[in-house]
């Protein structure tokens, strides 16, 4: 991918399309934006780079009218404006594609695109035929064919994103803001979306691209603004900077971008999964005949776009979901029907993707969360009596050992930051000899410091002889930590490769196509 030459971006219009001056916004206890200046030229792709929690999303929410700044100005085409809310922003030509899609799954593509700007027949009724027509026309103009009557919930994630972009285009957006758009895309889909963005920029639309992915930002942006802890810390042009430079700006210090995982010394097979078939909540088979094995002392990384059955696979392995076929064998023992507690007692640990759902009880004190999987046994419980003192002692020990930042062990787990919550879970799950460690998106939404910490912990567990199963949608994380890499596509494992020789593009291709020689020409109508 070539880096665009910035001298080609026309500079002839004196006023930038968008200018944000001195934007400041505080929430109780935190300064989200501190005097931020940003300007975007027409036809420019401008990247906003920063860690999770740096303030990028707040800034864009202010632009979109979802929040009001405490101080500062917004100028469109040189004129100061007050944006009162999303409909006002839309009127002014600002459209946002959110990180978590703002789509209603049970409604159709047409309904979703037109919501808020419906095509009417009279004052009350919708003109559904005209609506369909307009969707088709718009899709043709930008080369993605979407079936207006398809329910959005049935589309793949990549296609859902196109619906989001279509929403913006339908509203004649001149400034398009995309919040972490590639978080859920395969490398191939990312390339396609970048193509769409470049076409839009060439037509004069301005694009603000929020991301924390350094290589992508370097690939697509004309200019990059880096935000750290609510302040702008630097502005760069891709040809004049590097990943290391950007990382240092983002974090404020030299960052070790990859952990040196060293040599692995795999031992005997610990986990053997054969011909596993697993249904999702609606009864549909989302995992079909999956087989793989993980050895002691190695990390098997499972790469795949979210929604290809990974969550269900992981839940089955840790006992939260029953497979309809196949076997799971742990250290020679058949554990297919075992529940979470039985597996816990067989030295299996789990770091869930949704830590607020499976990992923690937010309203309970930290101490109760630390012993959440051990509460029923000695020393925390004798018969039906709980031993509060023993629980508290263990909690304080864990907090110290894993450096969880909290005033005490008795405050609610909900008061911790995301990174500290994850450390809490790690303190619980890592702190014993394990046969098998299962991690699902372990560093999602965390700051770089926490990510480093957890990656180091994973490697040390591996070196201590644990078999590690790592599921992640972040291909970089998989490449960094895995000794072997499996690719999951539509409920099957399509290949397993050696981590040392793995090629990012090849894996990305597998994630997107499942290994068929031709990528199927997917239209929205046939996408899953």
393 scored as a contact of other proteins (CB under 8 A): yes
Residues 151-170 close enough to bind other proteins by CB under 8 A: 167
CB of 291 to other proteins, least distance (A): 25
Where in 346-375 is the site for other proteins (CB under 8 A)? Answer: 350, 352, 357-365, 367-368, 372-373, 375
Q: Does 26 bind other proteins (CB under 8 A)?
A: no
> Which DSSP letter does residue 357 get?
I
Structure-token pair, residue 303: 């790469």
Give DSSP secondary structure letters for 185-221. Answer: --HHHHHHHHHHHHHHHHTT-EEEEEES-HHHHHHH-
The dihedral over CA atoms of 332, 308, 257, 406, expressed in degrees to the nearest 10, equals: -80
- Which CB sits closer to other proteins, 101 or 142? 101
Nearer to other proteins, 143 or 341 (CB): 341
CB-based contact 360:421 (threshold 8 Å) = yes
> Do residues 50 and 212 touch, judged by C-beta distance below 8 A?
yes
Q: Which is nearer to other proteins, 429 or 452 (CB)?
A: 429
Q: Please say whether the beta carbons of 146 and 99 come within 8 A.
A: no
Using the rule CB under 8 A, is 13 a contact of other proteins? Answer: no
Q: Give yes or no for residue 84 binding other proteins (CB under 8 A).
A: no
The CA distance from 240 to 411, in Å, is: 47
Contact 250, 228 (CB under 8 A): yes
Choice from 73, 242, 401, 410 touching other proteins (CB under 8 A): 410
Number of residues that bind other proteins (CB under 8 A): 73
Please state, in angstroms and as integers, the Cα–Cα distance from residue 103 to each residue in 107, 113, 114, following that order. 8, 9, 11
For the record, the structure tokens of 187 come out as 């490398």
Stretch that binds other proteins, among 102-110, 216-224, 248-256, 516-524 (CB under 8 A): 102-110
Which residue in the set 106, 129, 202, 521 belongs to the binding site for other proteins (CB under 8 A)?
106
Nearer to other proteins, 182 or 369 (CB): 369
Residues 6+ apart with CB under 8 A from 260: none
- Residue among 320 and 494 whose Cβ is closer to other proteins: 320
- C-beta of 53 vs 419, nearer to other proteins: 53
Q: Which of residues 173-212 bind other proteins (CB under 8 A)?
A: none
Among 105, 204, 252, 379, binds other proteins (CB under 8 A): 105
Alpha-carbon gap, residue 67 to 85, rounded angstroms:
8
> Which one of residues 5, 11, 27, 526 is an interface residue with other proteins (CB under 8 A)?
27
């Amino acid at each position: 991918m070539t880096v665009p030459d910035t001298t080609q971006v026309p500079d002839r219009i004196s006023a930038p399309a968008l200018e944000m001056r001195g934007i400041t916004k505080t929430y109780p206890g935190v300064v989200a934006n501190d005097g931020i200046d940003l300007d975007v030229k027409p036809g420019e792709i401008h990247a906003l780079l920063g860690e999770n929690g740096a303030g990028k999303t707040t800034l864009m929410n202010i632009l979109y009218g979802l929040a009001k700044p405490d101080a500062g100005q917004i100028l469109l085409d040189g004129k100061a404006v007050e944006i009162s809310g999303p409909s006002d922003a839309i009127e002014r030509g600002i459209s946002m594609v959110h990180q978590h899609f703002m789509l209603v799954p049970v409604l159709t593509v047409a309904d979703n695109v037109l919501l808020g700007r419906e095509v009417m027949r009279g004052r009350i009724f919708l003109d559904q035929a005209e609506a369909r027509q307009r969707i088709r026309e718009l899709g043709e103009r930008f080369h993605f064919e979407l079936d207006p009557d398809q329910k959005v919930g049935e589309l793949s994630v990549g296609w859902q994103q196109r619906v989001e972009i279509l929403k913006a285009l339908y509203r004649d957006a001149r400034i398009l803001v995309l919040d972490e758009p590639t978080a859920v895309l395969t490398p191939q889909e990312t390339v396609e979306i970048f193509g769409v963005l470049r076409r839009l920029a060439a037509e004069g639309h301005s694009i603000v691209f929020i991301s924390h992915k350094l290589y992508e930002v370097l690939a697509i942006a004309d200019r990059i603004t880096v935000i750290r802890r609510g302040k702008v810390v630097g502005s760069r042009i891709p040809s004049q900077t590097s990943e290391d430079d950007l990382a240092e700006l983002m974090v404020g210090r030299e960052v070790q971008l990859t952990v040196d995982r060293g040599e692995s010394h795999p031992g005997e097979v610990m986990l053997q999964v054969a011909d596993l078939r697993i249904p999702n909540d609606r009864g549909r088979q989302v995992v079909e005949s999956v087989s793989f094995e993980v050895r002691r002392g190695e990390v098997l990384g499972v790469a795949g776009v979210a929604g290809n059955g990974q969550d269900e696979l992981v839940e089955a392995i840790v006992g939260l979901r029953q497979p309809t076929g196949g076997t799971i064998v742990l250290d020679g023992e058949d554990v297919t029907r075992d529940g979470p507690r039985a597996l816990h007692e067989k030295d299996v640990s789990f770091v869930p993707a949704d830590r607020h759902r499976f990992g923690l009880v937010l309203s309970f004190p930290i101490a109760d969360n630390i012993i959440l999987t051990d509460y029923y046994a000695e020393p925390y419980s004798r018969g039906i009596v709980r031993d509060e003192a023993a629980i508290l002692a263990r909690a304080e020990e864990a907090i110290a050992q894993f450096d969880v930042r909290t005033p005490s062990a008795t405050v609610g787990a909900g008061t911790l930051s995301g990174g500290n919550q994850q450390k809490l879970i790690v303190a619980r799950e890592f702190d014993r000899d394990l046969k098998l460690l299962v991690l699902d998106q372990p560093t999602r939404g965390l700051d770089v410091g926490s990510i480093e910490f957890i990656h180091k912990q994973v490697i040390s567990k591996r070196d201590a002889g644990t078999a590690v199963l790592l599921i992640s949608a972040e291909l970089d994380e998989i490449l960094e930590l895995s000794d072997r890499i499996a690719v999951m596509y539509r409920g099957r494992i399509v290949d397993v490769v050696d981590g040392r020789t793995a090629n990012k593009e090849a894996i990305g291709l597998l994630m997107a196509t499942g290994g068929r020689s031709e990528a199927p020409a997917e239209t929205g109508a046939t996408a899953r």
